[in-house]
Amino acid sequence: MSPAPPAPPPAPTAVGLYLGGVQFLFACGWIVYAIYLPALAAQSGLPREAVPWLLLMDQLIFIGCDLAVGLWADRAARVLGRIGNWVLGATLLSAAAFLALPWLAPAGSPALLVAVTVLWTASSSALRAPPLTLLGRHVARPALPWMASLMLLGTGIANALAPYLGMALAEVDPRGPFALSALALAAVSLGMVKAERALQAAACGPAPAAAAAAGSAPVAWAAAPVVAFLAAAGLAAAGAQLHANLLSAPLYLGHAAPAALPALLPVFWAGFNLALMPASLAARRFGELPVMVAGALFAGTASVVAGRAGSLSALIAAQALAGAGWGVALLAGFSAAVALGKGHRVGFMSGAFNAVLAGAAVGRIALVMTVAPAPALLAAGWGWVPGAMLMLAAGGLWALRGRSRAEPA
């Protein structure tokens, strides 16, 4: 009887927590930017109507830069062996541009504000795809969902805090929050090189024979399933964007006063955060795509239930379940993207997955700009649309189960 193949070493959880902290600060910076953007635009001489266009521009830049940075990360990892130094450099540049925004806006130059915003947005893409690329290159596939859950926890906590930040910063000079966000992110990012070295030293990627036994050996690239996977992920993300960012507030206002919104809106993200750890265990046990299907289907069903909730308590429960379903789907989606890129395309898949998430944000912003604001959409009977999009995405992902290699870990 041949001996059982050795199990891959455990991933360094401390690195996952560190990357989660980086994502938390990055997301907080974005929230601070969105809170103050109308005032900064007015100070620079831009009309208020330009603010949605600036937000749309930011997401379009994310799409292009996520793809470019992902491709670059693959090449840098092959040619240079490490990407941490380059990520650190881009992050410091991004922090400097972010720090400058509230100081430049009063100068009254719209072109200058837009130029520095473009620089900040483009350089901050170094904190979107590359961290996931680091995990994909140095962490064995069975450990990926756990590490991804730690990363996503930082984003989820930041989103849960967003309503409170909006209230707390309403009367605060923007220079203080911008400086705090920029300097904190710059300081924390100094550990990026050390984190990459820790992943390499831990030898999380098993040797080729053991990797094959652990289910993480590279398989021939198949473009069609990858495109279908990204399309389904984008559809699911668009449904989640519509539900969480457009329709949640009007749904709550049907049962509660506006003053209660800061306490109610984080319910979705509380469910999201609580679901991440169990989702990582499920993805490791059952495979990324089946868990992603289950999460999207669950989130879609909960979204439809939320739209029909007859009481505030029922709505709160449905919102928490919708957030949990989206957390499961997103966690499994990130893990599946890395699994699909195993080999020499981890950076591309990481960037492409982030790009489809940015694309979903583009769709949400464009919908509000061209069709109607959220309350009007809900009044027009659009409440079922996010759930239908998530369910349709689940169906598309289910059809991919036998055609991709993002199967059981």
CATH number at residue 366: 1.20.1250.20
228 & 369 share domain? yes
pLDDT in tens, 365-405: 888 887 766 566 665 577 788 999 999 999 999 988 755 44
pLDDT in tens, 43-84: 988 988 889 899 999 999 989 988 887 787 777 655 444 555
More confident: 222 or 192: 192
More confident: 320 or 142: 320
Contact in structure between 254 and 372 (CB atoms under 8 Å):
no
Q: Is residue 8 part of a domain?
A: no
Question: Does residue 314 surpass a pLDDT of 60?
Answer: yes
Distance (Å, whole) CA 352 – CA 229: 11
Q: Is residue 75 part of a domain?
A: yes
207 & 227 share domain? no
Pick from 408, 361, 65, 396: nearest CA to 230? 396
Domain end point (choices 212, 236, 265):
212
195 & 276 share domain? no
Domain end point (choices 172, 188, 212):
212
Q: What is this structure's pTM?
A: 0.86
Q: Is residue 404 part of a domain?
A: no
| Cα–Cα distance list, 339 to 95, 161, 265, 287, 333 (Å) | 31, 31, 33, 10, 10
User: In this structure, which amino acid lies at residue 350?
Assistant: S
24 & 88 share domain? yes
172 & 249 share domain? no
248 & 189 share domain? no
388 & 246 share domain? yes
Q: Which class for 408: exposed (0-12), middle (13-18), buried (19 or more C-beta within 10 A)?
A: middle
DSSP 91-124: HHHHHHHHHHHHHHGGG--HHHHHHHHHHHHHHH
Domain that holds residue 184: 13-212
Q: Which of 116-130, 133-147, 192-206, 226-240 has the highest mean pLDDT?
A: 226-240
Distance (Å, whole) CA 374 – CA 307: 13
133 & 246 share domain? no
166 & 237 share domain? no
| Residue matched to tokens 């707390």 | 168
130 & 207 share domain? yes
178 & 37 share domain? yes
83 & 163 share domain? yes
Q: Is residue 266 part of a domain?
A: yes
Q: Is residue 406 part of a domain?
A: no
CA angle 356, 360, 361 (to 5 degrees): 120
Q: Is residue 407 part of a domain?
A: no
Domain end point (choices 148, 178, 212):
212
Distance (Å, whole) CA 359 – CA 353: 10
Q: Is residue 186 part of a domain?
A: yes
Within 10 Å of residue 13's Cβ, how many Cβ atoms?
12
Within 10 Å of residue 390's Cβ, how many Cβ atoms?
31
Question: Does residue 189 surpass a pLDDT of 80?
Answer: no
**Percent of the chain at pLDDT exceeding 70:** 81
How many domains, the chain?
2
Q: Is residue 24 part of a domain?
A: yes
